Structure 1
């Protein structure tokens, strides 16, 4: 982050800006931030000239180097999203209950889809507004598509199972081949 400070309405003879020393580590009494790590601060003096008005002035330029701490995003967003998606995928392989119902697969998939959408909303509110989706948003959006595909598979399986049991409907040979049942 570069910050330029200068008295542009006064000439260099009226106000002369002087840069302090550069800092490579936090000084005593420095209050940190929970989201950023301070790396270094470089202070420098610059002299600028407005050619049209023959106006010379001095500026002080500060280059602030910071690094984002990833713990918040890791523990609050990435790990829960990964766990939710894993639960949803494992939910595809839940055995049926004693009555033969499979609705719990769909319920589990829809619940995990809803929780993934809530996490995406948290990401959207905590990130700066930009024209492109950040990498974290892309990750969560991809996880939502995986969960949605799992829900679609559960619904298709439930529908086929229901038709076979209630209508004595036999699947076509090509469908059995796709499902690996031949």
Structure 2
């Protein structure tokens, strides 16, 4: 058996390379209390919204779905949550896909683009700025267009499993996290 040092070095370098950058939440999306323990704070915000989603509040729905998207992208790559409940992690992913289907967002859309679009939409809705709304929801990520996306946000999707998923996540001890 021959040794291939260059191949071994390449594989080692690939293993040490980060798997991508963690997504970020734009200013004004997460609650101020979510900054010192963002996963827990954002999770509480998401479950609070989906526990009793109110119609005709598209900006609140956009923020909650942006936060859900952030959780779904962040948790699998966050070393503090690597021992988290598989049921909880899978439930967050399923909740993400439910929300995306309800808004017509393709599964292949990059998470950060979805987060940024929904956060920008929430700001534009709050400011009643139609031009900013159209810019925030580009058809490449939001194929239904701004008006239809806002109409769907106004009747928020039922994301059935998000509360159970979050509960499963916080009931399993997490490395370095306190509740």
* TM value normalised by structure 2: 0.28
Q: Which has the higher helix share?
A: 2
Q: Which has the higher strand share?
A: 1
* TM value normalised by structure 1: 0.27
Specify which structure has the bigger relative contact order, considering alpha-carbon pairs within 8 angstroms and separated by 6 or more residues: 2
